[in-house]
């Protein structure tokens, strides 16, 4: 019985294949590297990622009038900036430490110097109205917009954080 054209030969059937993460097409392992160089969806993803990552440059003059240019990416944190400049500018530390957790993810401190991602789940309670105003800066008129999971008196830290990011536009603007 003759083989049909669209049937794979036994040699081709045994070749290891992998699927492209971007366009979900299947290629042999050998052909995947050349495909990734040409994949349109991968190029679009790389361009979008490059646009999100920006470099910020700060020019700092010290006592000796030497200019120090500090450069870091937008996905790096305020606490990393503090680590770079903290030895020379110690007065910056209390301000940054008051807002950001030590995990260096620009997450605001809730309690005990920890953010909501660092506090163990069993120790994390829900925020009351005064706590949400004090820790997150939620105004009394905006508290109605936050949906509460546990009645109108308690709010989850996650919901408060998402509300403030939506209200301010970004975590950087909020902090």
3-class DSSP state for residue 71? strand
Tens digits of residue pLDDT in 17-76? 888 888 988 888 888 889 999 999 999 888 877 766 666 666 656 566 666 566 666 555
Single out the residue of 115, 135, 118, 119 nearest to residue 127, CA to CA: 135
pLDDT at 40: 92
Residue 75 and residue 95: Cα distance in Å, rounded?
20
Indicate whether 170 pLDDT > 80: no
Check if the beta carbon of residue 124 is closer than 8 Å to that of residue 117. Answer: no
pLDDT at 39: 92
Extents of the domains making up the chain: 13-43, 53-99, 108-175
- Apex 134 CA angle, 129 and 107, nearest 5: 110
Taking CA atoms, 147 is separated from 40, 127, 175, in Å, by 40, 12, 21
Confidence band for 2, pLDDT divided at 50, 70 and 90: very low
State mean pLDDT over 68-94: 57
Tens digits of residue pLDDT in 119-134? 655 555 666 666 666 6
3-class DSSP state for residue 116? coil
State mean pLDDT over 108-116: 63
Residue 92 and residue 100: Cα distance in Å, rounded?
13
Based on its alpha-carbon atoms, the radius of gyration of the chain, rounded to whole angstroms, reads: 25
Question: What tokens were used for 71?
Answer: 């450069």
pLDDT at 19: 87
State mean pLDDT over 84-95: 52
Question: What tokens were used for 146?
Answer: 């936050």
């Amino acid at each position: 019985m003759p083989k049909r054209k669209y049937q794979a030969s036994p040699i081709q059937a045994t070749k290891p294949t992998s699927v492209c993460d971007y366009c979900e097409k299947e290629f042999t392992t050998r052909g995947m590297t050349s495909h990734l160089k040409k994949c349109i969806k991968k190029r679009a993803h790389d361009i979008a990622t490059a646009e999100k990552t920006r470099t910020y440059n700060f020019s700092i003059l010290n006592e000796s009038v030497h200019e120090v240019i500090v450069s870091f990416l937008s996905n790096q944190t305020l606490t990393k900036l503090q680590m770079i400049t903290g030895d020379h500018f110690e007065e910056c530390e209390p301000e940054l430490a008051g807002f950001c957790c030590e995990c260096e993810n620009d997450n605001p401190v809730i309690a005990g110097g920890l953010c909501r991602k660092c506090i163990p789940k069993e120790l994390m309670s829900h925020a009351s109205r005064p706590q949400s105003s004090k820790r997150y800066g939620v105004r009394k008129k905006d508290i109605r917009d936050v949906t509460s999971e546990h009645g109108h008196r308690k709010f989850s830290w996650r919901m408060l954080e998402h509300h403030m990011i939506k209200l301010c536009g970004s975590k950087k603007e909020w902090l």
